[in-house]
Structure 1
Amino acid sequence: MAGQTVLKRKIAAIFAADIAGYSRLVAEDEEETLRRLEAYREVVDDFIARAGGRIFNTAGDAVLAEFPSAVEAVRCAIDIQESLRTRNMAFPPSRQMSYRIGITIGDVVERDGDLLGDGVNIASRLEGLADVGGICISRTVHEQVANKLSVQFADMGAREVKNIPTPVHAFRVAMRREDGTYAPPQDQKVAKPGGARRLISAVAAVVAMMVAAGVGTALYLDHRDPPAAQRDAAKSAAEALARLSAAPAKQSPQSPAAASPSPAAATAAVEPSTSPQPAGSPSSAAAPEKFAPEAVPFVTERTRIALARDYVPAQDYKAFATTINGINAYVSGQPSEEAAKAAALEQCRQRVESVNGPRKCDLYAVGDSVVYPHSKPPLPPQPWVRHDPSTERAFSVAEMPLAHDAGKARLEANYKPGRRSKAIALGPNGQFFFGVGADLVEDVVRRNLEACGAQAGTACMIVALDDTFVVPVPTVMKATGFFHAASHSAIAVDAREEVARRLDASPSGWNAIAVGTGGHPGYGLNGDREETAIGGALADCSTRDNDCRVIAIGPFTVEGN
């Protein structure tokens, strides 16, 4: 009959996610919460799409999706929780934004793209049973995935849930804690007296390798200086895994090729260069750092997830090597420690050669200890990107600050036509890294800042994101370096602190600083244009000093063109 809605019944794996305490977060800071929700949803949507899922409904902070496979649904949920847990580490506990996720397999009815039925309702109830940042699955899902994923489950027994006539048998998935250790899934008191309590050991063969650096991702270097640094690591994930299982899973020895990411998983291309690898000082710590995947610099979030899944639980002998471009390789099950180190380095070198890259491979970890010989890449304070419509404008290679002609030529040839997501990190002496074709914006921003900081020996800044300058880039005057009020010799010593304070209090719009012969500053703050800020700074300076000149615009020191 014309106009009649077509109903289609099918079996599907249903995924339901909701942010814990979302109403409280909105009440405390609505704008910041909504901005972060948008960023977190990009992560969630990306993982769902890549796992073959389809989002069929959203409402506020909730996400409902269907998957053709229970294994892919659970694997996707773990990826999401691991990725968002890392992002939450940048925020205090009271402002962390964590999902609860529930998954079941059920009979559903499809109507105009939406799904209805008990399968959707049960997934939503399971989500309510999950821990904050955790995953809860039904028995039907557990039966499908228990021997296919190297994670553990706790039997929660049959649980009475709202508006479902029969108890739902639920299982909790073991998730990593904030410090990098695994939280052993604990049995809970169940609603049904006869509910079984048992911890099921489901550590299986190594999960299929996740693409490590995002296919199509590329990091390019203009030029570079010293040093680089050893990451602070959290608790040993290997020790935590041992707490999850009384006896470690037995693994067969792996060849270097089998245990390492493919060349395409590292970087798609590297800018040719003969510059030396940074020569940071070896760590002087008495005890080695414990390896923690979320602390590994230069690599993508997908590589970190793969390391947590495959490298951390692997038995010795094992090793992991990387370059500052994120090209990496790891091996496990080798006959000796020396064999593991040699195999990891060799696989890493082969990948570098396959993309004609000049980067030197360094051992980052041997066994469960960090052995990286360089220092920690310096990073700027968060947020790494602050959007301001009053200063943002279309990216132009000709206007790229501090860059030399050769560097601009590389940007024209590689960055400008590059696929999104892409970003440029700039150092104070004109060195810059850029990446193109990344899966996640946050990933390409972090990796470029780490690589640029390692080479510059100081924190860099993101100047361009996709096809937009995201900092005030001067054109009326010429940028000559980074502006630091506390150390700028043209400003009177007793005025530097005030300059820094007033700039910190003016994070938006165009800001300019002028000084006269006596070092007394003049301010042009929150201007709608570069010219407005310049004129305001000169006018203000002239009221308290002579021969005033502009020394800073936005984050840059400047001079006349």
Structure 2
Amino acid sequence: MKRKIAAIFAADIAGYSRLVAEDEEQTLRRLASYREVIDDFIARAGGRIFNTAGDAVLAEFPSAVDAVRCAIDIQESLRTRNMAYPPSRQMSFRIGITIGDVVERNGDLLGDGVNIAARLEGLAEVGGICVSRAVHEQVANKLSVQFADIGAQEVKNIPTPVHAYMVAMRREDGSYATPQVKKAASKVAAAPVWMWPLVVAIVSVTAIGVSGFLYNTKLKQTASAAATPAVTPSATPAASVATPGPSPTQMAKAPMVPQNAGAAMAPMPAPSPSAAPMAGKFAADSVPFINERVRSFLAGDYSAAGDYKAFALNVGGFTGSALNQPNEEAARNMAIEQCQKRADAAQSPRRCELYVVGNTIVYAHGKPPMPPQPYFRHDAMTERVFVSKDFPMVREPQKVRLENMFVPAAKSRSVALGPGGQYFMVLGASSAEDAARRSLESCGAIAGVACLVVAIDDNFVVPVPTLFRITGFFNAATNASIVADARGEVVRKLGDAMGWNAVAVGTAGRPGLGLKAADEKAAVTSALADCAKRDSDCHVIALGPFTVGPIN
């Protein structure tokens, strides 16, 4: 036996026994699939699995940084896979990580380090990560990760309290979920029994205030939805779910389905507020993010209903409505609760907001920025089969998500991409045009600028370079690499040119163009040759709608 210091990683499935009891064969198949993902991430991060038992995994890493980075990648990837299942069938892991002195025996590791990692895993939230103070100290200044200090925690079979931190898991909108403390902090010595009600009251009030501030009322809405289920007015027709998302029982008696139940967003910055809130008299044809069936409901049943009524939505396309309520407040609350309940059931990170109360628009944001029509074009020279690994400007976990969700989804489907790497996909729409519009609306609302439709159904509908690394969106009118007096000419010549188009510049910023080429290489060659006529040391800066650089 030998001793060593190692970062210990412990993971297991939340609610595994229930999942097995409900459907043993499916659970075991999915466990094997999920374990492949976990094992692959651990191996790539330099870790080693030293023990497994049922749904549990124990691994060691050479550093805390590697262990935490690996844990985050695993949780993001598994969250993507879980989106394909209803909440009751999702398979989510808890992960605990510590640094400790362990004993190695026949490849297995033993000691307090292993025990503490297992206890930290028990403290973690479903789909979350809990780490010891030693790990927090190692990682805090090395990874772009936020933590919540949950203090000293008493855990089973460990004689002294363990000071723990929750990793604030990143939501899909780029914000961070605030972890909830699962257990009380360590014992308060010699506290009189009569003091405990007061202590609990103070802690509860503080927690409620902080949570309310951080979640901006979302928890309150979720709690009220759970306590008082939304009631659909009897005059409103029932609807069924046609796209992946919440189970049909969750949607029973709903006046409309969350039409983007299969839609998804990549990690992205917070939405940029519109210049001015929407206001004025309600018109169904101007409501963003919704499909045509919901629009028909709004134009028909909603518009015809008397007060009191309200309609709520979120950027992801989830909706809620209330008709014929006793007062305005009841209509507002019901619409918000119904929308938020649907969004939460599908794990949408977006908060629902009131769009219209009565017949007056009260939405706090303007119309989402949109590109000019047509939103996409079919071009035989540039269109090619969609391949997730080639999707531009997103990280590997998001490419995995596209492979798991977009590729197998029902038509019509669309992915819109923002200049900051934001993306939004709409699945199972009534038409390609409807899918494109809705993906652009949601992506634009999140990015704060117009997005670009990159894929429709099985194909990329814009030229996606493979010879260069894509670095962003190309705008010739403002591109600083091109000398100012030449930008207008570049804009004019690019125009609506079909095929592959490339732009090159030299040291003086004089541009060269390769237009309407049959393939990427031909466009590049032509652009470099054109640039060489008027400048030196030319290099390609743009291909199609993207700025590009050399592949590292």
What TM-score bracket applies, with the shorter chain setting the length?
Answer: 0.5 to 0.7
Structure 1 residue ranges (4+ consecutive) displaced by more than 4 angstroms after TM superposition = 257-260, 269-277
In structure 2, distance between residues paired with 1:541 and 1:468: 32
Cα 1:491–1:474 change in 2 (3 A) is same
Equivalent in the alignment of 2:528? 538
**Aligned pairs, how many?**
314
Equivalent in the alignment of 1:469? 460
1:216 maps onto 2:243 in alignment: yes
Cα 1:534–1:446 change in 2 (3 A) is same
Percent identical: 47
1:311 maps onto 2:305 in alignment: no
Structure 2: runs of 5+ lacking an equivalent: 1-233
Is the 2:264–2:426 Cα contact (8 Å) retained in structure 1? no
Equivalent in the alignment of 2:543? 553
Q: Counterparts in 2 of 1:360-509, with a 5 A limit?
A: 360-506=351-497, 508-509=498-499
> Among residues 324, 331, 338, which one is paired with 1:333 in the alignment?
324
Bigger helix share: 2
Cα 1:428–1:502 change in 2 (3 A) is same
Equivalent in the alignment of 1:72? none
Cα 1:382–1:270 change in 2 (3 A) is closer
Cα 1:282–1:334 change in 2 (3 A) is farther
Cα 1:527–1:218 change in 2 (3 A) is farther
1:261 maps onto 2:252 in alignment: no
Equivalent in the alignment of 1:280? 273
Is the 2:307–2:325 Cα contact (8 Å) retained in structure 1? yes
Is the 2:265–2:425 Cα contact (8 Å) retained in structure 1? no
Q: Counterparts in 2 of 1:111-190, with a 5 A limit?
A: none
In structure 2, distance between residues paired with 1:272 and 1:544: 44
Cα RMSD for the two superposed structures: 2.4
Q: Counterparts in 2 of 1:83-98, with a 5 A limit?
A: none
In structure 1, distance between residues paired with 2:266 and 2:443: 15
Is the 2:314–2:352 Cα contact (8 Å) retained in structure 1? yes
In structure 2, distance between residues paired with 1:557 and 1:274: 21
Cα 1:398–1:282 change in 2 (3 A) is closer
Report the alpha carbon displacement of residue 447 of structure 1 after superposing the two structures with TM.
0.6
In structure 1, distance between residues paired with 2:267 and 2:484: 41
1:348 maps onto 2:339 in alignment: yes
In structure 2, distance between residues paired with 1:505 and 1:440: 24
SS of residue paired to 2:370: coil
Equivalent in the alignment of 1:526? 516
Is the 2:541–2:548 Cα contact (8 Å) retained in structure 1? yes
Report the alpha carbon displacement of residue 338 of structure 1 after superposing the two structures with TM.
1.2
SS of residue paired to 1:306: helix
In structure 2, distance between residues paired with 1:334 and 1:369: 16
Amino acid across the alignment from 1:538? L
In structure 1, distance between residues paired with 2:536 and 2:385: 37
Cα 1:381–1:371 change in 2 (3 A) is same
SS of residue paired to 1:526: strand
Is the 2:504–2:531 Cα contact (8 Å) retained in structure 1? yes
SS of residue paired to 2:420: coil
Cα 1:289–1:414 change in 2 (3 A) is same
SS of residue paired to 1:522: strand
Amino acid across the alignment from 1:423? S
Deviation string 1:222-278 (CA, Å, 9 cap, x unpaired) is: xxxxxxxxxxxxxxxxxxxxxxxxxxxxxxxxxxx999535x443434658897863
SS of residue paired to 2:398: helix
In structure 2, distance between residues paired with 1:336 and 1:277: 34
SS of residue paired to 1:321: strand
SS of residue paired to 1:312: helix
Amino acid across the alignment from 1:339? A
Is the 1:329–1:344 Cα contact (8 Å) retained in structure 2? yes
